[in-house]
Amino acid sequence: MPVMPHVTRLLAALRLSTLAIVVVTLFAAVASGPARADALDDALALFLTDKFPDTQKAIGQLVAEAPPQAAAILDALGDNRLLIDPANRVVAYRTAAGAVVDAKTGAPVASADAFKKVRVNNALRAAIDGARGSLTLANPDPEKRLAAAADVFKSRDAKALPALKAQLAKESDPRVADALKLAVAAIVAGSDSTTPAERTAAIEALKARGDPDAANLIDAIGQKATEPEVKAAAESALTNVRTRLMFWGAAQSLWYGLSASSVLLLAAIGLAITFGVMGVINMAHGEMVMLGAYATYVVQSVLPPSLQGWSLAFAIPLAFIVAAVVGVAIERLIIRYLYSRPLETLLATWGVSLILQQTVRTLFGANNRQVSNPPFMSGALHVGGLEITMNRMWIIVLAILVFIGLQLVLRATRFGLQMRAVTQNRRMAAAMGISTARIDMFAFALGSGVAGIAGVALSQIDNVSPNLGQGYIIDSFMVVVFGGVGNLWGTALGALMIGVAGKILEPLIGAVQGQIVLLIVIILFIQKRPRGMFALKGRAVEA
Partner 1 sequence: MTLAEDHNPTLTSSILYLDGISVSFDGYKALRELSLVLAPGEMRAIIGPNGAGKTTMMDVITGKTRPDEGEAMFDGKWDLTRLDEAEIATLGVGRKFQKPTVFENHTVEDNLLLSVKAPRGVRATLFARREPEVHETIDRILVTTRLKDHRGRVAGSLSHGQKQWLEIGMLLAQDPKLLLVDEPVAGMTDAETAATAELLREIAKSHSVVVVEHDMTFVRELDVKVTCLHEGAVLAEGTLDQVSADPRVVEVYLGR
Partner 2 sequence: MSRQLDRIGLVFVALLALAAILVPVLALATPEGSAFNIPPYLVQLFGKYLCYAILALALDLVWGYCGILSLGHGAFFALGGYAMGMYLMRQIGARGVYANPILPDFMVFLNWKALPVAWWGFNWFPYAMLLVVLAPGLLALAFGWFAFRSRVTGVYLSIITQAMTFALFKEFFRNDFGFGGNNGLTDFKDVLGFSLQSSSTKVALFSASAIALIAAYFVSRAIIGSKYGKALVAIRDAESRMRFLGYRVENYKLFAFVVSAVMAGIGGALYVPQVGIINPSEFAPANSIEAAIWVAVGGRGTLVGAAIGAIAVNFAKTWFTGVLPEFWLYGLGALFVLVTLFLPRGLLGLLLRPAREKAPTPETPALAIEEGADP
Nearer to partner 2, 344 or 387 (CB): 344
Residue 89 touches which of partner 2, partner 1, none (CB < 5 to 8 A by kind)?
none
Q: How far is the CB of 238 from partner 1 (least distance, A)?
A: 53
For helices 196-209 and 174-190, what crossing angle results, to 10°? 120
Per CB under 8 A, 414 contacts partner 1: no
In sequence order, the β-bridge partners of residue 75 are none
Q: Which stretch binds partner 2 (CB under 8 A): 42-50, 211-219, 410-418, 471-479?
A: 471-479
User: How far apart (Å, rounded) are the C-alpha atoms in residues 223 and 219?
Assistant: 6
DSSP state of 233: H
Instruction: Give the integer Cα–Cα distance in Å for 85 and 508.
Output: 67
Nearer to partner 2, 317 or 342 (CB): 342
Cα–Cα dist 388/405, whole Å: 25
Provide, rounded to whole angstroms, the least separation between the CB of residue 460 and partner 2: 24
> 543 contacts which partner out of partner 1, partner 2, none, CB within 5 to 8 A by kind?
partner 2
Stretch that binds partner 2, among 104-112, 155-163, 315-323, 524-532 (CB under 8 A): 524-532
Strands 116-117 and 82-85 turn out to be: antiparallel
Rounded distance between C-alpha atoms, residue 420 and residue 429, angstroms: 9
Choose among partner 2, partner 1, none what residue 524 binds, the Cβ cut-off being 5 to 8 Å by kind: partner 2
Q: Is 523 in the site for partner 2 (CB under 8 A)?
A: yes
3-state secondary structure of 402: helix
When asked if residue 527 is in the footprint of partner 2 (CB under 8 A), the reply is: yes
Q: Which is nearer to partner 2, 319 or 479 (CB)?
A: 479
Q: Which residues sit opposite 101 in a β-bridge? A: 93, 108
Which residues does residue 387 pair with via DSSP β-bridges, in sequence order? Answer: 382
Q: Can you give the length of the chain in residues? A: 543
Sign of CA dihedral 347, 322, 494, 480: negative
End-to-end CA distance of the chain: 82
Instruction: Sketch the per residue contact string, 481 through 520, with partner 1: x for CB under 8 A, - otherwise.
Output: ----------------------------------------
288 contributes a contact to partner 2 by CB under 8 A: no
Minimum Å gap between C-beta 458 and partner 2 is: 18
**Can you say whether the dihedral through the CA atoms of 426, 427, 431, 437 is positive or negative?**
positive
Residue type, 102: D
Its sign, for the CA torsion 144, 145, 149, 155, is: positive
Q: Of partner 1, partner 2, none, which one does residue 97 interact with (CB within 5 to 8 Å by kind)?
A: none
* Chain center to CA of 231: 35
- By the rule CB under 8 A, 431 interacts with partner 2: no
Q: Within 479-518, which residues bind partner 2 (CB under 8 A)?
A: 481, 511-513, 515-516
Neighbours of 109 (CB within 10 A): 21
Select from 478, 488, 495, 498 the one that contacts partner 2 (CB under 8 A).
478
Q: From partner 2, partner 1, none, which one binds at residue 4 (CB under 5 to 8 Å depending on kind)?
A: none
User: Residue 275 in contact with residue 448, Cβ under 8 Å?
Assistant: no
Nearer to partner 1, 310 or 489 (CB): 489
Min separation Cβ 274 and partner 2, Å: 12
What is the closest distance, in whole angstroms, from the C-beta atom of residue 465 to partner 2 in the complex?
Answer: 15
Which residue's CB is nearer to partner 1, number 251 or number 536? 536
User: Residue 296 binds which entry of partner 2, partner 1, none, with Cβ cut-offs from 5 to 8 Å by kind?
Assistant: none
* Residue 522, contacted partner among partner 1, partner 2, none, CB below 5-8 A by kind: partner 2
What DSSP line would sit under 183-217, residue for residue?
A: HHHHHHHH-SS--HHHHHHHHHHHHHH-SHHHHHH
Of the listed pieces 23-31, 70-78, 143-151, 351-359, which binds partner 2 according to CB under 8 A?
351-359
Cα-trace Rg, the chain: 35
Angle at alpha carbon of residue 297, lines to 480 and 268, rounded to 5°: 5
**Residue 203 to residue 445: CA distance in whole angstroms:** 62
Contact pattern for partner 1 over residues 523 through 542, marking x by CB under 8 A: -------------xxxx---
Beta pairing partners, 102: 92
Choose between 6 and 537: whose C-beta lies nearer to partner 1: 537
Our CB check for partner 1 shows the closer of 242 and 531 to be: 531
Supply the minimum distance, in Å, between the C-beta of residue 420 and partner 2.
17
Helix (H, G, I), strand (E, B) or coil at 18: helix
The binding site for partner 2 (CB under 8 A) comprises 279-281, 334, 337-338, 340-348, 350-355, 357-358, 362, 473-474, 477-478, 481, 511-513, 515-516, 519-520, 522-524, 526-527, 530-531, 539, 542-543
The binding site for partner 1 (CB under 8 A) comprises 536-539
